[in-house]
C-alpha cells in the first residue's frame, strides 16, 4: 500500500471516500486540499480548508475554520451521464500521493456504455506559492466519443456546521472565473480565482465552464487549470499574483513546487534501513507535518486535525507545543518560531480567558483560533442516552496548556539558541502564564505548599481531579523556566523587563513550594490524588459494560470512577520531562499504567513508545510507534466522541512518530548544552539517518545498534550513551 515515497491504492470502495479525503491530503500551510476526486462535491467531503481563517457558520454559534469554494472542480459527462467515481463502479481506479513532491494523481477508467473512458488527473497545492493550486486533467477513450467537460469553481463544498460565506460577486469570462465572498459574521473577504488552459468553445453558467470535446479513440485530451485562493494580506495584489502564476505555466509551477519540497526533505527526511514499512510511515508522518506548517505567518497555529477539514473547529490545541514543535525546532526553526509567535500574538486572548474564570495572567485557550480566545465550549460531548449536551471541563480545567506552551517556548530557545524570542514577547508570555498558575493555585499553609486543585490532566476521562501529576510537574517546570528566562533576559535584554511586575518574590516562592507528586514506594506516581482508590478495571472490561455505541467514557461515564484512562498522562510526563525520572521509575509506571490505558486519543501511543524505547521494551516501543506513525494511513483512529465527529488527519501523532524515532529509538536528548545520543533501535532496523539543526549547526546523524556517527557538529558537545563522542 505504501512504498518508500508513495501512498497508493488500486481499486475503489465507496467506504474509503472519507478516509482517503484525509489520507491523500495536499497542503502548504496556507490551505489543505482533501484527497477527493475532481468530480466530487460536498457529499464526498470536498474541502479546501483555510488555515487561520475562522468565522461562524450561518445561523450557528459554532465558530470553525472556513472551507473555500473548490476552484479545481472538474467532471466529465458522456451522453448526459456524469462520470462520478462515487456513483459509478470503475473498470479501473488508482489513487496516488507522492509525498516526496506533494503531488496527487488519480487514474480512473469509467465504463460508459460501449466505451471505456479514462480520466487522469494530477494536481498539487504549491509549496512555493501559498495561494496557488494547479491541476492537469486528461481524458481518453477506447472508442470515438463525444464528452462534455464541466469545470470551474464549485461552491458546493463540505461544511460541518453550515455555510460560512456570503458571495458578493461571481464573474466568469471565457476560461477565467473569479469569486468574491465574505465570511458570515466578521465579513472577512475571500477571493477565489480559477483559470483554464487548453479548453475551447466554453459556455459559462455561473462559475462553471462547459465545453464539448469529441474524443478520438485512444487519443488523450488534456487541459490544465489553476486556482488561486486569497484572504487577509494576500488580497492586496491577488489579481497580479494569480496572473503571474498562470503565466508561469503548469510545468514551471510544478518544478518550483517540487524544488520547494526537496528543500524541506533535505532537512527533514529520516531514512530507516531495514524496515521499509516503518520508513514509509515515518516519512508519511513528516509529509503531513510539513504540509500544514505555517511557514509564512505567525498568525495561526496548527489545527488538531491539520488542514483536513473543520473538525475540532480548525483550532490549535496543546498538540502543537507538545507533539509537533520538537520536530520543527530541530528541522525548521522558522516554523517553530512562527508557531510560538502565534501564541505570543494571542496572549491577549489568554489573558481574557484567565480573567473570565476569575484569575490573573494568561490561561491559554484549549481550542485556539485567530484571537486566542477559547473556541472550546463548556459542553463538548452529547450524551448518547439523552441527546443532551454534557458539561465537560476541557476548557476551564485543563490548565496544563499554559505550562505546555512555556515548556515548548523554552525548549525552542534552548535548541535553537534564539533567546531573542524571550525579549520578543516570550518572557512576557511566560510571566503571564506563571501569574495565572499562581492565582489558580491553592496555598496550603499547614503543608507549606501550593497545590493545583480541580484540574483536568491529559487523561480527560478523569475530570476535576486534584494534583494531577502531569499538570503539577509541568507547571513546576514552567515556574522554574520563568526564573531561568528572567535571569537570561536580565542579563541579555534588560530593556524587555519593563512589562513585568515590580516584586517577583511570589514567583520564586511558587516555584519553590509547588507540590509535585512523587513516586510511591513501588516507584509509581499516582496520576492524581485518590486515583489508586478507583475501581481497578481495564478498558477491556469497560467495553463489556457499554450499553450503547459511542458512549462517552468521560464525564460521569464508564471510565470516570475507574482506573481506566483515555490516554498517556503519567507516561506523558515521563516522556516529556525525561531527565527528571530514572529508568526504574519509568519502568514501574509503564508497567502499571499500560494495562489501564485505552489509547482513546492519538496522542497516547507515542508517549508509551518513547518511554518503552528508553526502558528497553523495544517490541512495545515498535508496536506503539507503528500505531502512531500509521494512524492516518490506516485510519483506524476513533471517529466519534459521543456523537461528535472527530475524524481527519492527526498531526500530533505525526509529530509523535518523529519524536519516537528521534527521542525514543535514536535516544536523542539535549540538556545542559550537551547532545546525547543513545540509540535503542528495533532489531530489524539496520540504521536510521536523520538531520538535526542545533543552534545553527546542521548535524547529519546516523545511528545503528552500535552507536552513532555525527557529521557537522563543530561546536556542539556530543555524547553517545553518555560518553564523549570523538568527532
Q: Report in angstroms how near the CB of residue 61 gets to a copy of itself at its nearest.
A: 14
- Pick the binder of a copy of itself from 297, 561, 639, 669 (CB under 8 A): 561
Query: Binding marks (x or -) toward a copy of itself, 576..605, rule CB under 8 A?
Result: ------------------------------
- What CA–CA distance (Å, rounded) separates 647 from 68? 20
Query: Which of 66, 507 has the CB closer to a copy of itself?
Result: 507
**Is 560 a binder of a copy of itself (CB under 8 A)?**
yes
Query: Which of 176, 438 has the CB closer to a copy of itself?
Result: 438
Contact 593, 565 (CB under 8 A): yes
**Is 391 a binder of a copy of itself (CB under 8 A)?**
yes
Q: Report in angstroms how near the CB of residue 515 gets to a copy of itself at its nearest.
A: 12
Q: Which residues contact 593 (CB under 8 A, 6 or more apart)?
A: 527, 565, 568, 569, 570, 571
**Is 506 a binder of a copy of itself (CB under 8 A)?**
yes
**Is 214 a binder of a copy of itself (CB under 8 A)?**
no
Q: What is the DSSP letter of 322?
A: I
Instruction: Please count the other Cβ atoms lying within 10 Å of the Cβ belonging to residue 378.
Output: 13
Cα distances (angstroms) measured from residue 221 to each of 6, 117, 195, 245: 26, 11, 17, 23
Question: What part of residues 327-366 is at the interface with a copy of itself (CB under 8 A)?
Answer: 358, 360
**Is 6 a binder of a copy of itself (CB under 8 A)?**
no
Q: H-type helices in 83-132, by residue range?
A: none
- Pick the binder of a copy of itself from 187, 556, 674, 727 (CB under 8 A): 556
- What CA–CA distance (Å, rounded) separates 129 from 148? 31
Q: Report in angstroms how near the CB of residue 502 gets to a copy of itself at its nearest.
A: 14
Judged by CB under 8 A, the number of residues near a copy of itself is 27
- Pick the binder of a copy of itself from 125, 555, 559, 588 (CB under 8 A): 555
Judged on CB neighbours under 10 Å (0-12, 13-18, 19+), 556 is exposed
**Is 438 a binder of a copy of itself (CB under 8 A)?**
yes
Residue 68's beta-bridge partner residues?
48
Question: What part of residues 365-384 is at the interface with a copy of itself (CB under 8 A)?
Answer: 378-379, 383
Going across the sheet that includes 145-154, the strands are 81-82, 70-78, 145-154, 208-215, 203-205
Point out the residues that are catalytic: 460
Q: H-type helices in 494-546, by residue range?
A: 505-513, 539-545
**Is 60 a binder of a copy of itself (CB under 8 A)?**
no
Cα distances (angstroms) measured from residue 53 to each of 231, 307, 314: 8, 11, 9
- What CA–CA distance (Å, rounded) separates 173 from 178? 9
Query: Which of 187, 556 has the CB closer to a copy of itself?
Result: 556
Contact 481, 430 (CB under 8 A): yes
**Is 386 a binder of a copy of itself (CB under 8 A)?**
yes
Q: Dihedral of the CA atoms 407, 725, 622, 655 (nearest 10)? A: 30
Question: What part of residues 439-458 is at the interface with a copy of itself (CB under 8 A)?
Answer: 439, 442-446, 451, 453-454
Query: Binding marks (x or -) toward a copy of itself, 457..476, rule CB under 8 A?
Result: -------x------------
One-letter-per-residue 3-state SS of 38-65: CCCCHHHCCCEEEEEEEEECCCCCCEEE
- Pick the binder of a copy of itself from 281, 390, 408, 427 (CB under 8 A): 390
**Is 5 a binder of a copy of itself (CB under 8 A)?**
no
Instruction: Please count the other Cβ atoms lying within 10 Å of the Cβ belonging to residue 442.
Output: 13
- What CA–CA distance (Å, rounded) separates 228 from 130? 9
| CA-based R_g, the chain, Å | 26
Contact 222, 230 (CB under 8 A): no
**Is 107 a binder of a copy of itself (CB under 8 A)?**
no
Query: Which of 557, 635 has the CB closer to a copy of itself?
Result: 557
Going across the sheet that includes 165-173, the strands are 6-10, 92-98, 103-112, 115-125, 132-141, 221-231, 189-197, 176-183, 165-173
Query: Which of 277, 509 has the CB closer to a copy of itself?
Result: 509
Q: Dihedral of the CA atoms 717, 719, 722, 724 (nearest 10)? A: -90
Q: Which stretch binds a copy of itself (CB under 8 A): 167-175, 192-200, 438-446, 606-614?
A: 438-446
The sign of the torsion formed by the CA atoms of 377, 381, 383, 387 equals: positive
Query: Which of 348, 378 has the CB closer to a copy of itself?
Result: 378
Instruction: Please count the other Cβ atoms lying within 10 Å of the Cβ belonging to residue 722.
Output: 9
Q: Report in angstroms how near the CB of residue 346 gets to a copy of itself at its nearest.
A: 24
SS3 479: helix
Angle between helices 618-629 and 651-659 (to 10 degrees): 150
- What CA–CA distance (Å, rounded) separates 499 from 517? 33
**Is 721 a binder of a copy of itself (CB under 8 A)?**
no
**Is 529 a binder of a copy of itself (CB under 8 A)?**
yes
**Is 385 a binder of a copy of itself (CB under 8 A)?**
yes
Q: Report in angstroms how near the CB of residue 372 gets to a copy of itself at its nearest.
A: 21
**Is 644 a binder of a copy of itself (CB under 8 A)?**
no
Angle, CA of 57, 60 and 63, to the nearest 5°:
55
Interface contacts to a copy of itself, rule CB under 8 A: 358, 360, 378-379, 383, 385-386, 390-391, 438-439, 442-446, 451, 453-454, 464, 506, 529, 547, 555-556, 560-561
Amino acid at each position: 500500500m505504501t512504498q518508500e515515497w508513495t501512498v497508493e491504492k488500486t481499486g475503489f470502495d465507496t467506504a474509503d471516500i472519507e478516509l482517503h479525503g484525509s489520507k491523500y491530503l495536499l497542503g502548504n500551510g496556507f490551505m489543505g486540499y482533501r484527497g477527493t476526486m475532481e468530480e466530487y462535491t460536498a457529499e464526498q467531503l470536498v474541502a479546501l480548508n483555510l488555515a487561520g481563517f475562522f468565522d461562524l457558520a450561518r445561523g450557528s454559534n459554532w465558530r470553525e475554520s472556513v472551507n473555500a469554494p473548490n476552484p479545481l472542480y472538474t467532471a466529465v459527462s458522456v451522453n448526459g451521464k456524469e462520470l462520478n467515481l462515487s456513483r459509478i463502479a470503475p473498470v479501473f481506479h488508482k489513487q496516488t500521493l507522492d509525498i516526496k513532491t506533494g503531488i496527487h494523481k488519480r487514474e480512473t477508467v469509467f465504463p460508459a456504455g460501449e466505451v471505456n473512458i479514462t480520466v487522469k488527473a494530477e494536481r498539487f497545492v504549491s509549496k512555493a506559492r501559498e495561494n496557488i493550486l494547479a491541476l492537469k486533467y486528461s481524458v481518453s477513450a477506447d472508442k470515438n466519443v463525444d464528452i462534455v467537460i464541466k469545470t470551474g469553481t464549485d461552491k458546493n463544498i463540505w461544511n460541518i456546521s453550515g455555510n460560512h460565506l456570503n458571495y458578493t460577486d461571481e464573474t466568469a469570462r471565457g476560461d477565467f472565473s473569479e469569486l468574491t465572498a465574505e465570511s458570515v459574521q466578521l465579513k472577512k473577504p475571500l477571493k477565489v480565482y480559477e483559470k483554464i488552459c487548453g479548453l475551447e468553445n466554453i459556455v459559462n453558467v455561473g462559475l462553471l465552464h462547459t465545453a464539448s470535446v469529441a474524443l478520438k479513440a485512444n487519443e488523450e485530451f488534456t487541459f490544465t487549470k489553476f486556482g488561486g485562493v486569497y484572504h487577509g494580506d494576500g488580497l492586496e495584489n491577488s489579481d497580479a499574483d494569480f496572473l503571474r502564476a498562470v503565466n508561469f505555466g503548469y510545468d514551471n509551477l510544478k518544478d518550483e513546487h517540487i524544488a520547494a519540497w526537496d528543500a524541506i526533505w533535505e532537512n527533514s527526511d529520516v531514512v530507516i534501513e531495514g524496515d521499509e514499512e516503518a520508513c514509509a510511515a515515518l516519512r508519511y508522518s513528516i509529509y503531513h507535518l510539513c504540509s500544514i506548517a505555517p511557514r509564512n505567518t505567525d498568525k495561526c497555529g496548527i489545527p488538531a486535525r491539520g488542514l483536513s477539514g473543520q473538525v475540532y473547529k480548525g483550532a490549535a490545541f496543546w498538540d502543537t507545543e507538545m507533539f509537533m514543535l520538537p520536530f520543527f525546532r530541530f528541522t525548521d526553526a522558522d516554523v517553530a518560531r512562527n508557531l510560538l509567535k502565534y501564541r505570543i500574538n494571542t496572549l491577549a486572548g489568554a489573558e481574557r480567558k484567565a480573567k473570565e474564570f476569575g484569575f490573573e495572567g494568561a490561561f491559554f485557550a484549549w481550542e485556539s483560533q485567530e484571537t486566542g480566545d477559547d473556541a472550546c465550549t463548556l459542553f463538548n460531548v452529547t450524551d448518547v442516552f439523552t441527546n443532551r449536551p454534557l458539561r465537560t471541563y476541557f476548557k476551564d480545567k485543563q490548565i496544563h496548556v499554559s505550562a505546555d506552551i512555556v515548556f515548548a517556548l523554552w525548549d525552542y530557545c534552548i535548541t535553537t539558541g534564539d533567546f531573542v524570542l524571550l525579549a520578543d514577547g516570550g518572557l512576557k508570555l511566560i510571566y503571564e502564564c506563571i501569574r495565572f498558575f499562581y492565582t489558580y493555585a491553592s496555598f496550603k499553609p499547614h503543608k507549606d505548599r501550593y497545590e493545583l486543585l480541580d484540574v483536568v490532566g491529559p487523561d480527560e476521562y478523569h475530570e476535576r481531579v486534584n494534583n494531577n501529576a502531569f499538570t503539577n510537574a509541568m507547571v513546576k517546570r514552567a515556574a522554574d523556566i520563568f526564573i531561568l528566562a528572567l535571569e537570561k533576559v536580565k542579563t541579555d535584554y534588560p530593556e524587555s523587563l519593563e512589562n513585568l511586575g515590580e516584586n517577583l518574590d511570589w514567583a520564586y516562592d511558587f516555584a519553590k513550594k509547588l507540590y509535585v507528586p512523587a513516586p510511591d514506594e513501588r516507584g509509581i506516581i499516582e496520576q492524581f490524588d485518590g486515583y489508586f482508590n478507583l475501581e481497578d478495571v481495564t478498558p477491556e472490561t469497560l467495553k463489556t459494560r457499554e450499553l450503547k455505541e459511542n458512549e462517552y467514557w468521560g464525564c460521569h461515564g464508564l471510565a470516570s470512577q475507574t482506573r481506566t484512562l483515555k490516554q498517556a498522562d503519567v507516561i506523558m510526563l515521563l516522556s516529556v520531562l525525561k531527565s527528571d525520572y530514572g529508568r526504574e521509575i519509568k519502568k514501574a509506571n509503564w508497567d502499571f499504567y499500560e494495562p489501564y490505558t485505552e489509547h482513546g486519543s492519538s496522542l497516547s501511543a507515542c508517549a508509551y513508545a518513547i518511554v518503552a524505547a528508553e526502558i528497553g521494551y523495544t517490541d512495545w516501543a515498535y508496536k506503539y510507534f507503528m500505531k502512531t506513525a500509521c494512524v492516518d494511513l490506516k485510519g483506524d483512529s476513533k471517529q466519534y466522541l459521543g456523537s461528535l465527529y472527530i475524524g481527519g488527519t492527526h498531526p500530533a501523532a505525526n509529530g509523535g512518530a518523529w519524536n519516537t524515532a528521534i527521542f525514543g529509538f535514536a535516544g536523542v536528548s539535549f540538556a545542559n548544552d550537551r547532545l546525547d545520543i543513545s540509540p535503542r533501535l528495533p532489531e530489524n532496523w539496520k540504521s536510521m539517518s536523520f538531520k538535526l539543526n542545533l543552534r545553527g549547526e546542521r548535524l547529519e546523524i546516523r545511528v545503528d545498534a552500535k552507536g552513532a556517527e555525527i557529521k557537522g557538529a563543530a561546536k556542539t558537545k556530543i555524547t553517545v550513551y553518555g560518553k564523549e563522542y570523538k568527532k
